[in-house]
Chain A
Amino acid sequence: VSEASFLKALSRLAAIVGKDHVFSSDKELAVYLDPFAPGDAAEFAASAAVMPATVQEIQAIVGVANQYRISLWTVSTGRNFAYGGAAPRLSGCVVLDLKRMNRIIEVSEAFGYALVEPGVSYFDLYTYIRRQGYKLWIDPPAVGWGSIVGNTLERGFGTTPYGDHAAAQCGMEVVLANGEVVRTGMGALSKSTAWQLFKAGYGPSFDAMFMQSNFGIVTKLGIWLMPEPQGYLLCHAKFRNDADLEAIVETLRPLRLDETIQGNAVIESGVRWAAGVSPRNRWYEGAGAMPQAAIDAMIGQLDIGRWNLRLALYGPDELVDARYRIVQKAFAKIAGADLSARKYTTAAPEGGGDKSQAGIPSLAAFQMINWRGGAGAHLDFSPICPPTGRDAMQQYRMVQARAAEYGFDYYGGFTVGIRHLNHIFAAVFDRNDPQQTQAARELLQVLVTQAGAAGYGEYRTHLAFMDLVAAQYDFNHHALLRLSQTIKDALDPAGILSPGKQGIWPKALRK
């Protein structure tokens, strides 16, 4: 695209959304740089940004993009931090920033759902529900400032029984690359009465196709909300030994499968727990990963476990009590397991992790960036792990060893779903320290590759590793990626939507 053509396109965009909603100066575009970039943030820099307020404006923007061959990078609110934030995979894209589309279109207390636009954050919906007095809970991810639409499309997760956000999604509105507006599921009826009630609709279902993809622009999304429980119990458990991870996972699996434990449980390493309440230099000031002796001293002083488990039980008192007795009995088999619990009915918990389990959004999880000091940042490695003790130990040992080689502590943990574990390791670094930053990037590359060789794939990744992660999904010579490319070419022949997202490139940019 020539500069003259680009400027013409910007002028057309300004005519659509107003000049106050088109940005192209370095100062304005700074907010679209990745603040946790593992290297030079300019590697993933936008050339401009445009903020529409309506679906009609998006349709018009897509028309301009097709005409001038401008690539758009869609973000809801752009808070996908540790995975790239609002920055585009392909430098030079125009960020299509949807945060002005921030209407909570409908909340149904009777049916337990909300229909929202991309600019609505978890905090926004939580506040709205509380003000309206609806007896409903949201399920916030660890950091609650992000978009509900964005997080759901990225298959984010939380810790209440509605913690699988993609699974709780019902009905979408999507603008396709040709400008056509499609509603999925029951929304395909003009007079639909069940858009947010029945996912499938009639014929093929397409909702999942618009998650972690570049096949369309999601402009409305239905999300199911949990009825407020009569009460709940938050349980913390501490475990003494590294090797206890195996028994913890084996103990949790049947309890999650039969839904004795209704929501995602979370297993956190000692370092991860400590990083939420203290900086690293309080415990260790040497170079390289913390030695075991320093970790032992730290967990002793903080009175935490080598592994720390959070789980929550919801419902009427009698049911919560019955479920907790089963949980206590199961964990009594692990020597040294130390369980404590607190019931809540009206008062709310205060800690960030506890609040998330009670459907209350928080930003406390950001305290992790204080761990290394300086300008804290993190880069996440997020492999899916089968819910067996053996697999969890294998992934943990592998990540811990590689992390130590690159000078990083094992800041990690496992979120325990019904049939899988989300293993999240964060390489926490000081972004003002070029060596640490480079080491984090190199470590992630090694982890992705080594995990892939062992049969473990990531569910989500930073811009810098999207192609590498896609390459690990190699069955039948990458047949899945070819399928994605075929769909991409059919729906977006000019390749204007989010090129390179999740490794899916338009034809003209494929290597």
Chain B
Amino acid sequence: MVSRRQFIEMIAAMTAMGWTPCRASLRQAPVHAVYAGYTEYARTPAAVFDSRLPASRVFARRARTAGWQALELRPDVGDLWYHTLRPDFAAALYPLAGLTLESDFFVLKQLTAELGMDVPYQRRHEGGDALVSWVIAPRRDDSPGPAATSPPLASG
């Protein structure tokens, strides 16, 4: 069983430039085991990526290796939302993790907030062409509220 905190740390490490897991506990665990162990939600999280961005493509590859669904943002985040995510979320909410442009993160954050999801983790990458790593997950009563920012990790 992997905790929500460990899950978010894992995403933070996976979306960091250069892929350097920062916690010894995670370093010891195979990636797929971490993903598989995250059982808080009924459905596996999905990775949102932008095929125009090399770092995002790497993130998608890692996610697929772990057995996640990787969702492409292009050609338009609107198509992803209206044709895939909104119909999916009507059945059940599940977490999203992304390495995308700020604009696409903004759009998904706004749309998911109305469904009771929030942002337990976000990190903007310096000098990275407006790149941001993020997690959007169904809100929990003890979560810090919408758009809370986790402290930056040491890696990446």
Instruction: Give A contacts to B, CB under 8 Å.
Output: 26-27, 30-31, 35, 79, 99, 123-124, 127, 144-145, 278-279, 281-282, 350, 352, 355, 361-364, 366-370, 373-376
Q: B31: CB under 8 A from chain A? A: no
6 tightest A-B CB contacts, nearest first: A370-B130, A363-B78, A366-B103, A30-B146, A123-B82, A279-B130
Bound together, the chains give a CA A116 to CA B13 distance in angstroms of 46
Given contacts A35-B106, A366-B106, contact A30 B127 (CB under 8 A): no
Q: Which of B51-92 touch A at CB < 8 Å?
A: 75-78, 81-83
Q: B34: CB under 8 A from chain A? A: no
| Chain A residues, Cβ within 8 Å of B106 | 35, 366, 369, 376
Between A and B, 15 residue pairs with Cβ closer than 8 Å are A27-B146, A31-B114, A35-B110, A79-B110, A127-B82, A127-B83, A278-B129, A281-B129, A362-B76, A363-B107, A364-B76, A369-B102, A369-B103, A376-B102, A376-B130
Q: Is the CB of A279 within 8 A of B113?
A: no
| Chain A residues, Cβ within 8 Å of B130 | 279, 370, 373, 376
Bound together, the chains give a CA A281 to CA B125 distance in angstroms of 13
Instruction: Choose from A27, A350, A362, A374 the contact partner of B78 (Cβ within 8 Å).
Output: A362
Given contacts A26-B145, A362-B76, A363-B77, contact A282 B103 (CB under 8 A): no
Q: Is the CB of B101 within 8 A of A367?
A: yes
Q: Is the CB of B129 within 8 A of A368?
A: no
| Chain B residues, Cβ within 8 Å of A368 | 103
CB distance from B3 to the nearest CB of A (A): 22
Q: Is the CB of B76 within 8 A of A30?
A: no
Bound together, the chains give a CA A364 to CA B138 distance in angstroms of 26
Q: Is the CB of A374 within 8 A of B124?
A: yes
Closest to B145 in A: A27
Bound together, the chains give a CA A31 to CA B103 distance in angstroms of 17
| Chain A residues, Cβ within 8 Å of B75 | 350
| Chain B residues, Cβ within 8 Å of A362 | 76, 78
Given contacts A364-B76, A373-B130, 6 further A-B contacts (CB under 8 A): A31-B114, A123-B78, A123-B82, A367-B103, A369-B102, A375-B124
Q: Is the CB of B78 within 8 A of A279?
A: no
| Chain A residues, Cβ within 8 Å of B110 | 31, 35, 79
Given contacts A30-B147, A31-B146, contact A375 B102 (CB under 8 A): yes
Bound together, the chains give a CA A355 to CA B83 distance in angstroms of 17
| Chain B residues, Cβ within 8 Å of A145 | 78, 81, 107, 111
Q: Is the interface on chain B under 10, 10 to 19, 20 to 34, or 35 or more residues?
A: 20 to 34
Bound together, the chains give a CA A87 to CA B137 distance in angstroms of 24
Bound together, the chains give a CA A278 to CA B52 distance in angstroms of 12
| Chain B residues, Cβ within 8 Å of A363 | 76-78, 81, 107
Closest to A377 in B: B106
Closest to B129 in A: A279
Closest to A349 in B: B75
| Chain B residues, Cβ within 8 Å of A30 | 113, 145-147
Bound together, the chains give a CA A363 to CA B76 distance in angstroms of 6
Number of A-B residue pairs having CB atoms within 8 Å of each other in the complex: 71
| Chain B residues, Cβ within 8 Å of A374 | 102, 124
Bound together, the chains give a CA A144 to CA B101 distance in angstroms of 19
CB distance from B122 to the nearest CB of A (A): 9
Bound together, the chains give a CA A47 to CA B133 distance in angstroms of 32
Closest to B115 in A: A31
Bound together, the chains give a CA A279 to CA B75 distance in angstroms of 18
Closest to A277 in B: B52
CB distance from B4 to the nearest CB of A (A): 17
| Chain A residues, Cβ within 8 Å of B113 | 30-31
Q: Is the CB of A376 within 8 A of B103?
A: yes
Q: Is the CB of A27 within 8 A of B139?
A: yes
Closest to A31 in B: B113
Closest to B113 in A: A31
Q: Which of B78, B110, B124 has the most CB of A within 10 A?
A: B78
Closest to A29 in B: B146
Bound together, the chains give a CA A85 to CA B50 distance in angstroms of 27
| Chain A residues, Cβ within 8 Å of B104 | 366
Bound together, the chains give a CA A373 to CA B128 distance in angstroms of 9
Bound together, the chains give a CA A350 to CA B76 distance in angstroms of 9
Q: Which of B89-109 touch A at CB < 8 Å?
A: 101-104, 106-107
Q: Is the CB of A144 within 8 A of B78?
A: yes
Q: Is the CB of B103 within 8 A of A370?
A: yes
Q: Which of B75, B113, B124, B147 has the most CB of A within 10 A?
A: B75
| Chain A residues, Cβ within 8 Å of B124 | 373-375
| Chain B residues, Cβ within 8 Å of A352 | 76
CB distance from A126 to the nearest CB of B (A): 9
CB distance from B130 to the nearest CB of A (A): 4
CB distance from A504 to the nearest CB of B (A): 28
CB distance from A385 to the nearest CB of B (A): 28
Bound together, the chains give a CA A374 to CA B128 distance in angstroms of 10
Instruction: Choose from A127, A278, A366 the contact partner of B107 (Cβ within 8 Å).
Output: A366
CB distance from B90 to the nearest CB of A (A): 13
| Chain B residues, Cβ within 8 Å of A27 | 139, 145-146
| Chain B residues, Cβ within 8 Å of A350 | 75
Bound together, the chains give a CA A270 to CA B110 distance in angstroms of 29
| Chain B residues, Cβ within 8 Å of A369 | 102-103, 106
Instruction: Choose from A35, A281, A366, A370 the contact partner of B127 (Cβ within 8 Å).
Output: A281
Given contacts A144-B78, A366-B106, A366-B107, contact A282 B129 (CB under 8 A): yes
Closest to B103 in A: A366
CB distance from A349 to the nearest CB of B (A): 10
| Chain B residues, Cβ within 8 Å of A281 | 127, 129
